[in-house]
Structure 1
Amino acid sequence: MSSFRTRFFLASALPLALAGCMLGPDYVRPQVAASAQAQPRLVRADPQLVVAAPPLQRWWTQLHDPQLDWLVDRALANSPNLRAAEAQLRASRALVRQRRAEMLPSIGATAVYGHATAPDWAKDSVRSTAGEVADAIEGSAGAEAAQAIRQRAQALDMDMDLYDAGFDASWELDLFGRRRRAAEGARAKAEASAADLADAQVQLTAEVAQAYLGYRGNRERLAIARDNLERAERILALTRQRRDRGADSDLQVERAVAQVHQQEAMVPQLEADAQVALDQLALMIGREPGALDAMFAQDRPLPDLPQRVQVDDAAALIRRRPDVRRAERELAASSAQIGEALSAYFPQVTLLGSLGMFATSASDLGADAVNWAVAPMLRWSVFDFGRTGAQVEQARAGNQARLAAYQGTVLAALQDANGALSRFGAARRQLGSAQQAQASAARAAALMEQRNAAGASSLIDTLDVQRQRLSAQDGAAQAQLQLLVGYVALQKSLGLGWGTPPATQAGDAGAAAP
């Protein structure tokens, strides 16, 4: 008895022990750029421009522009690109559920009813045989017995009803972890799809902000161009009056006319750029071209930036950026694929079983009609002529490629953030110089107007100062826009802007606009 129990225990424990076996490497996240991640701040973070603090995910709210907030929220709720990424994420999560279900037994139920009718030749053959038997025994058994055999043969019903009902089950014993590695890989791919969705949100929020700021910048430059056009037209009118009095020549008038036309030439392109930006914004929020024209017709100043922006360290940046998380999850999925490929070297064991009832009439379906079967099935590709080895090599090479891609993504993320910090600092310094140039040009223009009113300046000097003033104003507007665009690029490089989109009310988009 003791020997029997020992064998029974070993037979029961062996599958459980093997079930804990998983082939292939256990994934460990690799360490990349360890020295950079150990630093308290990014290497290009200027303390005069940056405060070491976790940045806001909804970074655009720091610009305090209600129209920008509304556009970003609508884009996050209605963007076709985001809907496609969300659908891909749902599909990936469904695959995870499928892989988990494949690790459990599969149980099915069957119910069959059949009716079989014998062919006429079979019925005729039975009746003919019965007639021959009756003829043979008629002399010995008597006519009555022979007649009874003939009657029974004529009344014989050879049609048959068949009833079959039962359950069948199958379960692959995951002895070497093939199913578990498949579930592990599916889970990593689903997490990569989630990172894809987050990355699409990061890209979208940055693109919306850049398009909106570009629109506001074009409108500001357009206002400057129109203001200078009015000034040029006043100078032209004054020059014509002086010519009529003999104080100026036709040459001076033509110079003033050329100045007017130069100012006019700037307006159409700025108007077209503003319209293109509006249509781009409409596309991003899922609307048709022209849908935002009336809503954004009123001019607004460009938003002001905070004195210092919040930027955390490299380690937090790498953890947060969706593209880095996607690359890391794809690396984890490729690691699981190695275990899947290695499991092909070993046999697959599946337990098959069935339990059912079979009878020729419904009333006979009972305990006496029960039948059952249990069958373990083993499949093992002993000779595959190197196919499994090739698949393992492919999985290992794919894992190495994913590792290199992950390392490159981490380094590119650090370069992107540090480059954005450098450009942002340069843009802020450039704006300071441009504003000083604008102030100087405005003072020069005011002095020239005084000299011109006193008749102490020539038209050439007046036009030259006017051109300088326009160039300085336009340069300052462009420098302010570039600083804001640099701010957006910095937030994008930090991997900000992803998360759960806010709920939006149904109905016309214009009804909710600020």
Structure 2
Amino acid sequence: MMRQGLTVSALALALSACQAGHDFQPPKADAQVDWLPTQGEQAVSHPQASPIKERWWEVFNDPLLSSLIDRATAASLDLKIATTRLEQSRSARQVVAGDQLPSVSAGLGYQRARNSGEGLNDPSGNSGKSAFNLWDGGLDAFWEIDLWGRVKREVEAADATVAVAENDRRGVLLSVQAETARDYLQLRGVQDTLAVTRENIDVSRNSLALSKVRLNSGVATDLDVAEASAQVATVEARIPLLEQRQAQLVNALSLLLAQQPRTLQTELLHATERAPLPEAIPVGLPSELARRRPDIRQAEARMHLAAASVGVAEGDFYPRIVLSGNVGFQSLQLADFGSWGSRNFGIGPQLSLPIFEGGRLRGMLHLRQAQEQEAALNYQKTVLRAWQEIDDSMSLYKASQLQQHKLENAVQQNRIALGTAREQYKAGAVDFVSVLTVQRALLASQEQFVDSSTAQTLALVGLYRSLGGGF
């Protein structure tokens, strides 16, 4: 009895040693990099190593932005397409997993037939001289015994394919959220630029009116009036392109919400004041990055898929053992169908072993092994790219804030300079060229200030996108 137990244990050990492929070990995505910027001048709003909220866009404190992202998440066609792909992969996994269980089918048939008198035996006993009835029915079963783990690896590969599709959907969701935020914040930036431009149109028209008054008083020339008129036209020429860009961004948001062009025009054409960003911006922890970024998770799933596919290719070298059987009834007369004498059955194993495949199996194994190496390299590249995107986004966020602070001071000083230049022009101390020079400098600094403010918010969106959002 003990010898029999030892024999069974040895057989189980031998079979486990012949398992196809190797068990997948998730890689470590650790990187020795500075998570938070520490060098140089510090900005007012700065990243902080604390948990990221799932609704990360609420850091902008803009209810309309939150509403747009919620609606885009519910209506996005790209997200719905990714969801259907995920459902397809889950259904495919269910198909593959079915190979682990026996396949049982039932059948029932009737046939009116006549056999050849010169061929095979005629079951009717009439040597092919007359037709006969044949009633046939029963159950058939089929089951492949997965001794080497080939079917197990196929299911494992299907699970990895589902993980790829899941993280593809997560990536699409993050893209929809980030693109909605980007388009909305760019729209607000364009609207701020429009407000600055219209303000400068008023300033230019006031300068033109002043030049005409001085011309009528005999203390200015036609040149002053012409230069003032040209300045008005130059600033007014900025409006059409800004309005076109505004319409383009409204349409982009409409598309993200699966709406017709201009659907959101009434809702979005009224500019709102931006709320200040909080001093501390939560950006999570470095150890959480690989669990949060969809592309890293997807790259890991592709590694898992490649490793499992190697196991499937190795399993094709081993014998396949299939248990099959059937039980049923067969009779020439309906009255006899189902009787004890009409019973039939068959059961037994079938074994198949590849002997010569012309190198096909070995070529497939080498292909899967090369694909596994490629997946590992792609994973490494994805992680490095993630760290680069995060570092670039943090640097851009900090730089845009510092630039905005300097430009705010430049705008204030240019306003003072313009007022002084206009007073001096009224007094005849300077010519109109000085007024135009200061006015152009004010417009340029105002536009740069708006651009830096927009760049700051876009950099924050890019930062959260590079961090994988709030998953």
| TM beyond 0.5 | yes
Aligned partner of 1:96 in structure 2 is 93
Aligned partner of 1:440 in structure 2 is 413
Aligned partner of 1:221 in structure 2 is 193
- Separation of aligned partners in 2, 1:305 and 1:81: 30
Give the conservation status (yes or no) of the 8 Å contact 1:192–1:326: yes
Aligned partner of 1:508 in structure 2 is none
- Separation of aligned partners in 2, 1:202 and 1:303: 23
Q: Select which of 228, 239, 247 maps to 1:275.
A: 247
1:47-66 paired onto structure 2 within 5 Å: 49-66=46-63
- Separation of aligned partners in 1, 2:9 and 2:27: 39
Q: Select which of 27, 36, 46 maps to 2:24.
A: 27
* Pairing 1:42–2:39 present: no
- Separation of aligned partners in 2, 1:273 and 1:197: 30
Q: Select which of 137, 153, 169 maps to 1:181.
A: 153
C-alpha RMSD of the superposition:
2.6
Give the conservation status (yes or no) of the 8 Å contact 1:23–1:342: yes
Q: Structure 2: which 5+ runs fail to align?
A: 119-125
1:144-188 deviations in whole A, cap 9, x for unaligned? xxxxxxxxxxxxx94422211100010001011110000001101
Q: Structure 1: which 5+ runs fail to align?
A: 123-129, 131-156, 499-514
1:388-431 deviations in whole A, cap 9, x for unaligned? 11111111111011001111111111111111111111111111
Q: Select which of 84, 89, 103 maps to 1:87.
A: 84
1:298-335 deviations in whole A, cap 9, x for unaligned? 12123421122112232211221110000001001100
Give the conservation status (yes or no) of the 8 Å contact 2:310–2:369: yes
* Pairing 1:397–2:370 present: yes
1:268-297 deviations in whole A, cap 9, x for unaligned? 111111111111111111011111111112
- Report deviation, 1:117: 6.0
Aligned partner of 1:199 in structure 2 is 171
- Separation of aligned partners in 1, 2:305 and 2:451: 46
Aligned partner of 2:121 in structure 1 is none
- Separation of aligned partners in 1, 2:206 and 2:92: 72
- Report deviation, 1:20: 8.8
- Separation of aligned partners in 2, 1:232 and 1:43: 45
1:481-508 deviations in whole A, cap 9, x for unaligned? 111111111111111055xxxxxxxxxx
Aligned partner of 2:123 in structure 1 is none
- Separation of aligned partners in 2, 1:400 and 1:21: 23
- Report deviation, 1:18: 3.7
Aligned partner of 1:142 in structure 2 is none
- Separation of aligned partners in 1, 2:49 and 2:240: 44
Aligned partner of 1:289 in structure 2 is 261
- Separation of aligned partners in 2, 1:301 and 1:495: 28
- Report deviation, 1:16: 10
Aligned partner of 1:67 in structure 2 is 64
- Report deviation, 1:452: 4.4
Give the conservation status (yes or no) of the 8 Å contact 1:314–1:414: no
2:265 match: secondary structure: coil
1:83-139 deviations in whole A, cap 9, x for unaligned? 1111111111112212211110000000001123689x99xxxxxxx9xxxxxxxxx
Look up the equivalent residue of 1:315 and give its one-letter code: S
Give the conservation status (yes or no) of the 8 Å contact 2:208–2:225: yes
1:26-84 deviations in whole A, cap 9, x for unaligned? 11122344544xxxx61536786122201122111111111111111111111111111
- Separation of aligned partners in 1, 2:265 and 2:462: 26
- Separation of aligned partners in 1, 2:371 and 2:8: 39
Moved more, 375-384 or 445-454: 445-454
- Separation of aligned partners in 2, 1:118 and 1:179: 43
Change in 2 beyond 3 A, CA 1:118/1:331: closer
Give the conservation status (yes or no) of the 8 Å contact 1:236–1:253: yes
Change in 2 beyond 3 A, CA 1:455/1:206: same
* Pairing 1:421–2:394 present: yes
Aligned partner of 1:138 in structure 2 is none
- Report deviation, 1:250: 0.7
- Separation of aligned partners in 1, 2:378 and 2:93: 24
Aligned partner of 1:380 in structure 2 is 353
Aligned partner of 2:468 in structure 1 is 495
Runs of 4+ more than 4 Å apart: 9-17, 45-48, 452-457
Name the % identity: 31
- Separation of aligned partners in 2, 1:424 and 1:364: 87
1:437-488 deviations in whole A, cap 9, x for unaligned? 1111122223334444555443222222222221121111111111111111
1:145-156 paired onto structure 2 within 5 Å: none
- Separation of aligned partners in 2, 1:20 and 1:353: 30
Change in 2 beyond 3 A, CA 1:395/1:81: same
1:294 match: secondary structure: helix
Aligned partner of 1:163 in structure 2 is 135
Give the conservation status (yes or no) of the 8 Å contact 2:30–2:287: no
1:187-243 deviations in whole A, cap 9, x for unaligned? 011111111111111112111111111111101101111111122112212211221
Q: Find the structure with the greater CA-based Rg.
A: 1
Q: Select which of 249, 270, 274 maps to 1:298.
A: 270
1:56 match: secondary structure: coil
- Report deviation, 1:383: 1.7
Give the conservation status (yes or no) of the 8 Å contact 1:19–1:174: no
Provide the TM-score with structure 1 as the length reference: 0.83
Change in 2 beyond 3 A, CA 1:34/1:440: closer
